[in-house]
Structure 1
């Protein structure tokens, strides 16, 4: 811009010098319809060149807007001068320079004109004024200007007019400000005045709406003070107040608002507004709780002025009366004592209708409805109590006391623990705002009364921190509020309460808010063997977990930087890594995660130990010893089984050639059997007759068959088997078939005779069995085995008696023919 104007000045100087006169009149000029226009409006520009200027004779001109040549220049007749006119349809520059230049020398500017574009002053709105009644009294007014900005220099002035005094003032405002403070001399507190703001620029002027106000009614008072707050009547407080030191001159009625809150409440209760309040006068607040500590605050305003800030709080107690209402209770058995005593733990809290109505509240638990020393179980100022009751007790009574009296007793039934149904599952999750949502599965029992939800901090065993809530039997969710401390563990137990007692609880751990653990345990190498390694770590302390541990992840890698991940069980806290290389060194990092975040531990290094020679020798020796023991055991087992199988298939049979029925006693036959074969019947008791026959000569088959057919029933044997007519040929010592018999007499059972045939031959070297006879006085003797000669009968009869063979009495065979 400066260079363009310098060009104009140079050209004009050249032109004037060429004219050679003292006349400094320019040779050219630029005219516009207006040098200040509204943005976007059309502008007509005319460049006039005098023909009397020799330096410009024969030269054509052009119009430029800044650095841009404007097309559409039209020559027009203008007497002795040349004129060039141009119409700009929309001027959109806030500020620009129009120049008239020589066409053949564009840098030679012969005339120029600056044009500004903008808007009229924006509309002024939201005018407000507020008086300050503090040490520096004043009246401050504020307003807002609408968009867009005018882009033009605008002058603002604040005008005031006091009608009663006929005062008018105009305060010129600095450019760009949107507020102004009227000094104390320019207004009167209790006189109404009119105020407005006006803005003026080259395109017009605008004014705000006129504001009429009384300065004191716009003043924001300083916070007042409560001089005295005291009990007046039961449930009422009396309050006395005053203005601050800068407004103590105020004597008119003002509006006063009071708010109260109890010591245990976190929210204020606003009382009805008093419209005609005066300082140093009492204000009464009734309908309050008895014997309760209240904190009061007040604030004031004059007519429609803004409210002052709240005053400082002042406490006071209302008059006391006896406690009213019932208490919520929760009692459970904590132990069984001697002498038929139960140890009980009782918790309580105020119900919605309970009113302490006094200070220094205490509680008494009594076994009797009428409070006296004989039935008193415990007394405390807290919210829980431990005491003993007889095993047969059914209820106790809880009474609240203060200095004015005691409440009606609350009956507390005693529910004993029972082995009833347990709640299948309980889950807990954070619900936000320091609370936890508890869910449980219903207990399908018609005897169910309700559920008791109990929660306590796990890092503090103080029973005064235990809280409880009762849920109806048709509910399965409850929001536990506290608020609970974030990152701290809580134990939440749900008890099902039945008509006959309290069932076992189900307990879970919960956090209202979780984050990453505060520490990560160190990794220890527990076992290290070829290609494997077992890593373990300790449990994180409960106060350092900051949440429920969800997983342990171990990241490990070797020189190749290939990362592997192994997940450890949260309960076992160990992990076994397999497939490792013995020639590599590994790095590992443990990451512990909760629902609120994860934390990585420090890095550890480990490698795999190769098997040393000593370990190899020990393993080989242990393997060989085991194999030897196994072989010895198998050999011994096979040997024992061989004898057992031999006895199974080839039972021990007495040798008839070298035995006597008389000598078949328990002592003589027990040695024959193996000592370990107790599964077989005792062979000393013979239970059947066995006849062994070898192939016989032709012609004898009929007799043998006849004997076999008639020998099915041997229950009454009356004659000697040897020499029987049914067994021809058996008496011959030269026969090919040798029969023998085995007789077993079970001790506790009657005699049994069973026939058995065996094809096992007798030993060839043995002699034929001797002849044994049944001796009978009347019948004579009959031969049992072998040939029977007449000369031997008398001697045998004389030598052998029935008393000598008691077992043969059952073998006496009588002739039935």
Structure 2
């Protein structure tokens, strides 16, 4: 195999000479083979000079020696002129030199003008191109199923010439490819013009260093890629492990234990593995590194309760060399629930209910975040007194929604709100029904935050606030939209809030901000705003109210707010 590989350039040149230098052409009435066309080389660098000669034998062409013969040339269909002189044995010889050949393939014709006619009597085909480009970006991967070494590379610029590309291997130092005894061998040849091929297992020595490189050869030269010195096992891509089971440990913690098995083809190797997991709502995977061993159990804590996660694992050799396996097929697991935790954001309005001595209360709240819900919230309870000694007071509301209207005795100052799931009920959030008589904000400004959001900025009152509530409502109100969307800012030092729930471009919104003090709710400050504006949807229709000799009075109906698409500055 080595001998054949080494002789390839010479064989390629000979085959091109035999293929390209076909110089015998037919003339009418028995003038077969009367001209010989010879070129210095049928394969030349693109842009270089080309030398050729054409020899005419009078006897073979049945031309009398006294007959005047004029030899001309054509490069494809382009006429050319060469020199002409008398050769040995009565032959007529014409020489031609092309200073530059700027086409990758050409036919060079020798033509004879005799007795007023012009005949093509010989031709040589010429190839022009470049030596092969140096292959680059060579990389290899060992398949553990059949232990074939697949390598791929990039070939570089086109040489415009037939090029023989082979992937070669050799033993490094004391190691040898089995068939070569230290000599370079052709490991494999790519098929169909591809830049990849696979060296079979019988040509490899595993766990020993080998040199791998790509050789590209054409009639103008040979180029080799950089040599890779690798142990084929160092570029093995392992088969993925298999997750066997996932369970919570112990039951009431945020920890899970996973067991896995490695693929059978990897069972004899020391491995390092990685675990990744995510919930559907997570923007990215969480990654656990440094898992060592062939198979076993891994433990991980910090999972949210009552949440469905997807787990995957991958492994590679513990040496850190080689490729990671593909991620294993995903396995899903839902952690167990526990009772909701944390306080709920709540907002209210209250007013006396006529002469009955009752208070009409509207209570609204926000659903707990994932970290506090600890599972799927099944409902909410509102009571007028806290739970004592494990006894649940009667509920004035038990609902799956986030709003409740109820009547309470006049003078009620506190209500208690809790959430529950299948694992239990949260500690109650105490809602103090404070009067709205505190100091208002010193100033309020709203600017667009985007097409569907608004930045609310305010200037705090002299009295420090414990929190703020921002309310907004579309003008005019639309069924299906919240009658008054709201959010709570628990940081009393903040003076900004971004609102985006229900905000749409070209619609007007009333915005109010309430400061919450320890003993009262501040009087709200109001403003209106758009997240984006454009021209009104239509112009109002004019009506002639009165007319006289010197003036006319016109009137029109204002454009409805929902069609204004912004603040109208003038008509």
Cα separation, partners in 2 of 1:505 and 1:349, compared to 1, 3 Å: farther
Choose which of 276, 284, 295 in structure 1 pairs with 2:309: 295
Report what 1:171 is aligned to. Answer: 188
Report what 1:278 is aligned to. Answer: 294
1:33 deviates by 2.0
Measured against aligned partners, the alpha-carbon deviations of 1:282-326 in whole angstroms (never above 9, x if no partner) come to: 11112444x443514122132321341353232142585x75544
- 2:106 is aligned with 1:96: yes
Choose which of 127, 130, 147 in structure 1 pairs with 2:141: 130
Task: Give structure 1 stretches of 5+ with no counterpart.
Answer: 18-23, 513-546, 556-566, 574-591, 596-817
1:275 deviates by 4.3
- Tell me the secondary structure at the aligned position of residue 25 of structure 2: helix
The answer on whether the counterparts of 1:29 and 1:111 sit within 8 Å (CA) in structure 2 is: yes
- Tell me the secondary structure at the aligned position of residue 365 of structure 2: strand
Cα separation, partners in 2 of 1:187 and 1:506, compared to 1, 3 Å: farther
- 2:288 is aligned with 1:238: no
CA distance in 2, matches of 1:181, 1:51: 58
The answer on whether the counterparts of 1:259 and 1:268 sit within 8 Å (CA) in structure 2 is: no
Cα separation, partners in 2 of 1:478 and 1:106, compared to 1, 3 Å: farther
1:37 deviates by 0.4
How many residue pairs were aligned?
Answer: 503
The answer on whether the counterparts of 2:469 and 2:487 sit within 8 Å (CA) in structure 1 is: no
Choose which of 215, 219, 234 in structure 2 pairs with 1:202: 219
The answer on whether the counterparts of 1:218 and 1:306 sit within 8 Å (CA) in structure 2 is: no
The answer on whether the counterparts of 1:421 and 1:503 sit within 8 Å (CA) in structure 2 is: yes
Higher relative CO (Cα under 8 Å, sequence separation at least 6) belongs to 2
Report what 2:166 is aligned to. Answer: 157
Cα separation, partners in 2 of 1:170 and 1:399, compared to 1, 3 Å: closer
Report what 1:686 is aligned to. Answer: none
Report what 2:453 is aligned to. Answer: 437
CA distance in 1, matches of 2:310, 2:436: 49
Higher mean C-alpha displacement, 366-375 vs 54-63 = 366-375
The answer on whether the counterparts of 1:419 and 1:504 sit within 8 Å (CA) in structure 2 is: no
Report what 2:243 is aligned to. Answer: 226
Choose which of 35, 39, 44 in structure 1 pairs with 2:46: 39
Choose which of 86, 111, 115 in structure 1 pairs with 2:122: 111
Report what 1:339 is aligned to. Answer: 357
CA distance in 1, matches of 2:380, 2:33: 111
Aligned counterparts, 1:465-484, within 5 A: 468-470=487-489, 475=495, 478-480=498-500
Report what 1:145 is aligned to. Answer: 155
1:156 deviates by 2.4
Cα separation, partners in 2 of 1:487 and 1:497, compared to 1, 3 Å: closer
User: Superposition RMSD on alpha carbons, in Å?
Assistant: 4.9
Aligned counterparts, 1:790-801, within 5 A: none
CA distance in 1, matches of 2:386, 2:472: 27
Measured against aligned partners, the alpha-carbon deviations of 1:431-451 in whole angstroms (never above 9, x if no partner) come to: 36xxx2225585786569434
- Tell me the secondary structure at the aligned position of residue 345 of structure 2: strand
CA distance in 1, matches of 2:159, 2:78: 26
1:196 deviates by 3.2
Choose which of 20, 24, 48 in structure 1 pairs with 2:55: 48
1:51 deviates by 6.8
The answer on whether the counterparts of 1:455 and 1:468 sit within 8 Å (CA) in structure 2 is: no
User: Larger radius of gyration, structure 1 or 2?
Assistant: 1
Cα separation, partners in 2 of 1:285 and 1:296, compared to 1, 3 Å: farther
- Tell me the secondary structure at the aligned position of residue 494 of structure 1: strand
Report what 1:516 is aligned to. Answer: none
1:115 deviates by 1.4
CA distance in 1, matches of 2:336, 2:176: 51
Measured against aligned partners, the alpha-carbon deviations of 1:447-470 in whole angstroms (never above 9, x if no partner) come to: 69434135799553789x966243
CA distance in 2, matches of 1:402, 1:110: 99
CA distance in 2, matches of 1:131, 1:377: 70
CA distance in 1, matches of 2:73, 2:540: 81
The answer on whether the counterparts of 2:444 and 2:456 sit within 8 Å (CA) in structure 1 is: yes
Cα separation, partners in 2 of 1:170 and 1:227, compared to 1, 3 Å: closer
The answer on whether the counterparts of 1:7 and 1:108 sit within 8 Å (CA) in structure 2 is: no
Measured against aligned partners, the alpha-carbon deviations of 1:475-502 in whole angstroms (never above 9, x if no partner) come to: 4652425xx6999999775343365435
Cα separation, partners in 2 of 1:326 and 1:55, compared to 1, 3 Å: farther
- Tell me the secondary structure at the aligned position of residue 521 of structure 2: coil
Aligned counterparts, 1:625-640, within 5 A: none
1:348 deviates by 3.3
Cα separation, partners in 2 of 1:166 and 1:572, compared to 1, 3 Å: closer
Cα separation, partners in 2 of 1:249 and 1:174, compared to 1, 3 Å: closer
Cα separation, partners in 2 of 1:453 and 1:593, compared to 1, 3 Å: closer
CA distance in 1, matches of 2:239, 2:528: 54
- Tell me the secondary structure at the aligned position of residue 132 of structure 2: coil
Cα separation, partners in 2 of 1:427 and 1:452, compared to 1, 3 Å: closer
Measured against aligned partners, the alpha-carbon deviations of 1:624-652 in whole angstroms (never above 9, x if no partner) come to: xxxxxxxxxxxxxxxxxxxxxxxxxxxxx
CA distance in 2, matches of 1:185, 1:492: 79
User: Could you say which structure has the higher helix fraction?
Assistant: 1
Cα separation, partners in 2 of 1:164 and 1:113, compared to 1, 3 Å: closer
CA distance in 2, matches of 1:485, 1:106: 90
Measured against aligned partners, the alpha-carbon deviations of 1:145-172 in whole angstroms (never above 9, x if no partner) come to: 101x122222223334574772466434
Report what 1:551 is aligned to. Answer: 537
1:79 deviates by 4.8
User: Could you say which structure has the higher strand fraction?
Assistant: 2
1:179 deviates by 2.4
Cα separation, partners in 2 of 1:106 and 1:37, compared to 1, 3 Å: farther
CA distance in 2, matches of 1:210, 1:326: 65
- Tell me the secondary structure at the aligned position of residue 53 of structure 2: strand
CA distance in 1, matches of 2:52, 2:564: 78
Choose which of 316, 323, 327 in structure 2 pairs with 1:305: 323
CA distance in 2, matches of 1:211, 1:488: 63
Report what 1:501 is aligned to. Answer: 521
CA distance in 1, matches of 2:130, 2:222: 10
TM (norm. structure 1) is: 0.51
Cα separation, partners in 2 of 1:467 and 1:194, compared to 1, 3 Å: farther
CA distance in 2, matches of 1:29, 1:206: 35
Higher mean C-alpha displacement, 229-238 vs 185-194 = 185-194
Cα separation, partners in 2 of 1:365 and 1:488, compared to 1, 3 Å: farther
- Tell me the secondary structure at the aligned position of residue 127 of structure 1: strand
Report what 1:255 is aligned to. Answer: 272
The answer on whether the counterparts of 1:254 and 1:300 sit within 8 Å (CA) in structure 2 is: no
- Tell me the secondary structure at the aligned position of residue 173 of structure 1: coil
Cα separation, partners in 2 of 1:133 and 1:348, compared to 1, 3 Å: same
- Tell me the secondary structure at the aligned position of residue 305 of structure 1: coil
1:474 deviates by 6.6
1:506 deviates by 5.7
Task: Give structure 2 stretches of 5+ with no counterpart.
Answer: 1-20, 181-185, 542-555, 567-571
